[in-house]
């Protein structure tokens, strides 16, 4: 083989290697973005259930215009979602700060590792008529 043919083969291998590495990076970014979206979507659903709990009367196992019954343990989150859903393929969901009269804070932690070795983490501050979602990392 001539030098020109060897140079073209080496150049082709380099281009294919570069394309594969770029594709791997893009796929990892896609996985992270998809996991973040899934965790946010799950937190919005949990927020809706927490607000429903707030407005449900005490006589019907609700909060009676309070978040006080939503404790920061398994029984607290269990009043909103099933134990299977609190740890699903998207993430793990807990009540970060036990509910008080007008607010409860729910946490969602994703399951796809970020480049820095951590996982996507969100806090959602739930009030009777609104919520505020905060991305920690």
Domain span at residue 75 reads 3-135
The per-type count for the chain, helices as H runs and strands as E runs, is 3, 4
Model pTM score: 0.85
Q: Each residue of 43-58: pLDDT tens digit? A: 999 999 999 999 999 9
- 121 DSSP β-pair partners: 109
Q: Each residue of 8-28: pLDDT tens digit?
A: 999 999 999 999 999 999 999
What backbone torsions phi and psi does residue 26 show, to the nearest 5 degrees?
-65, -40
CA 74 from centroid of its chain's CA atoms = 18
Longest CA pairwise span in the chain (Å): 88
Counting the structural domains of the chain, the total is 1
HSE (CB half, 13 Å, CA atoms) of 130? 1
């Amino acid at each position: 083989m001539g030098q020109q043919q060897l140079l073209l083969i080496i150049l082709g291998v380099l281009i294919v290697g570069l394309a594969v590495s770029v594709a791997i990076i893009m796929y990892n970014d896609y996985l992270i973005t998809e996991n973040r979206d899934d965790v946010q979507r799950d937190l919005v659903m949990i927020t809706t259930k927490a607000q429903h709990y707030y407005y449900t009367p005490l006589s019907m196992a609700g909060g009676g215009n309070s978040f006080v019954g939503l404790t920061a343990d398994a029984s607290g989150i269990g009043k909103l979602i099933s134990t299977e859903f609190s740890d699903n393929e998207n993430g793990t969901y807990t009540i970060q700060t036990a509910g008080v009269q007008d607010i409860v804070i729910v946490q969602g932690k994703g399951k796809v590792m970020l480049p820095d070795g951590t996982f996507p983490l969100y806090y959602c501050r739930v009030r009777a008529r609104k919520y505020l979602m905060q991305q920690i990392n």
